[in-house]
Amino acid sequence: MSDRLQVVEGDITRQQVDAIVNAANTTLLGGGGVDGAIHRAAGPELLEECRKLNGCPTGQAKITRGYHLPAKSVIHTVGPVWRDGRHGEDELLASCYRSCFALVAKHGIRTVAFPSISTGAYGFPMERAARIAVTEAKDFLGRDRSVEKVILVCFGKSAYETHLAAVKEICG
């Protein structure tokens, strides 16, 4: 289990995987944070393809090519904006991970890297988000034997430590 689920500290745009996940907004037309970094690294072709997708609802995901990224594909998902935890935020965040994993399975992707969806501009508490990310990744890896690696890419040491703690808690 734990060898197929990895936590690393770094920049998601540098990951050598089949697909990286983008924490996008509902327009899919670019934003700041990880979205801005992915569009900069992928080049303008990514925005051109995103324009044809007509946006994406919160909790769902859409796939594009990766263009100049090392990753062949980008899975764009839209996390919930944190309000107070009583507006379906947990369920919507879990739905992001499940929607991404559904695309991973559908497209035969073997290695995928995720950023910590919703924990930047969208304000989702990191510890709570990390538990959801790890729970969904563990469930998926238990169901799908063909996926070799799920990498949770943490931006900064504190995010890294929070995710490692969630893996220890949930995966033992």
Select from 29, 53, 105, 121 the one that contacts ligand ADP (CB under 6 A).
121
Q: Residue 139 catalytic? A: no
State which of residues 9, 11, 90, 161 lies at the interface with ligand ADP (CB under 6 A): 11
Please pick, from the candidates 117, 134, 150, 152, the single residue that binds ligand ADP as defined by CB under 6 A.
117
Residue 141, helix vs strand vs coil: helix
Q: Confirm or reject binding of residue 96 to ligand ADP (CB under 6 A).
A: no
> What is the total residue count of the chain?
172
Please list the residues that pair with 74 across neighbouring strands. 20, 64
Give the residue, chosen from 60, 95, 111, 119, that forms a contact with ligand ADP under the rule CB under 6 A: 119
Compare residues 2 and 158 and give the one whose CB is closer to ligand ADP: 158
Nearest to 23 by CA among 84, 100, 138, 126: 100
Interface with ligand ADP includes 23 (CB under 6 A)?
A: yes
Query: In angstroms, rounded to a whole number, what is the distance separating the alpha carbons of residues 129 and 94?
Result: 9
Query: What CA–CA distance (Å, rounded) separates 15 from 53?
Result: 24
Going residue by residue from 33 to 72, which x/- string records binding to ligand ADP, judged by CB under 6 A? Answer: xxx-x-----------------------------------
Which token pair is 144?
């799908």
Rounded (5°) CA angle 81-83-87:
90
Nearer to ligand ADP, 108 or 135 (CB): 135
Q: State which residue, 20 or 109, has the beta carbon closest to ligand ADP.
A: 20
Instruction: Please state the φ and ψ torsions of residue 32, each to the nearest 5 degrees.
Output: -95, -160
